[in-house]
Structure 1
Amino acid sequence: MGSVTTQKHANGLEYVDVNTELCQARIFMQGAQIDQFTPKGKPPLLWVSSADDYQPGNGIRGGIPVCWPWFGTHENPEYPQHGFARNKIWSLESVNMRNQVVDLVFTLPKSEFEQQYWPHNTEVKVLFTLSETLSVSIVNTNLGDTHVNLTQALHSYFPIGDIHQLKATGFSHSKYIEFGQGPITQSQDSVEFDRETDRVYTELAPLQTLHTPHGTILVSRENSQSAVLWNPWIDKSVRLSRFKSDDYLTMVCLEAANVLEDNVKLAPGESHTLTTHIAWQ
Structure 2
Amino acid sequence: MGSVTTKTHANGLEYIEVNTHLCEARIFLQGAQIEHFQPVGKPPLLWVSSADDYQPGNGIRGGVPVCWPWFGMSSEPDFPQHGFARTRIWTLDSVEMRGQLVDLRFSLTLTEEDCVYWPHNTQVKVLFTLGDSLSISLVNTNLDKVPVTITQALHTYFPIQDIHQLRATGFEGAKYIEFAEGPYPQTTDEVTFTRETDRVYTDLTLVQQLHTPQGIIEVSRENSHSAVLWNPWIDKSQRLARFNDDDYLTMVCLEAANVLEDKLILAPGESHTLVTHIRWLD
* TM-score normalised per structure 1: 0.99
Aligned residue number for residue 20 of structure 1 = 20
Distance in 2, matches of 1:110 and 1:184, equals 38
Between the aligned residues of both structures, percent identity stands at: 72
Residues 179-194 of structure 1: pairs in structure 2 closer than 5 A? 179-194=179-194
Deviation per CA, 1:67-94: give whole Å up to 9, x if none: 0000001111311100000000000000
Deviation per CA, 1:206-247: give whole Å up to 9, x if none: 000000000000000000000000000000000000000000
In structure 2, list runs of 5 or more residues that go unmatched. none
Aligned residue number for residue 210 of structure 1 = 210
Aligned residue number for residue 76 of structure 1 = 76
Aligned residue number for residue 267 of structure 1 = 267
Deviating 4+ runs (over 2 angstroms): 110-113
Distance in 1, matches of 2:74 and 2:204, equals 23
Deviation per CA, 1:226-274: give whole Å up to 9, x if none: 0000000000000000000000000000000000000011000000000
In structure 1, list runs of 5 or more residues that go unmatched. none
Aligned residue number for residue 109 of structure 2 = 109
Distance in 1, matches of 2:5 and 2:111, equals 25
Distance in 2, matches of 1:77 and 1:227, equals 25
Moved more, 73-82 or 105-114: 105-114
The Cα RMSD (Å) is 0.8
Preserved contact between residue 88 and residue 112 of structure 1 (Cα < 8 Å): no
Deviation per CA, 1:25-76: give whole Å up to 9, x if none: 0000000000000000000000000000000000000000000000001111
Moved more, 93-102 or 231-240: 93-102
Aligned residue number for residue 242 of structure 1 = 242
Compute the displacement of 1:276 (Å): 0.2
Aligned residue number for residue 33 of structure 2 = 33
Distance in 2, matches of 1:104 and 1:111, equals 23
Compute the displacement of 1:98 (Å): 1.6
Aligned residue number for residue 167 of structure 2 = 167
Preserved contact between residue 127 and residue 136 of structure 1 (Cα < 8 Å): yes
Residues 227-238 of structure 1: pairs in structure 2 closer than 5 A? 227-238=227-238
Distance in 2, matches of 1:4 and 1:110, equals 26
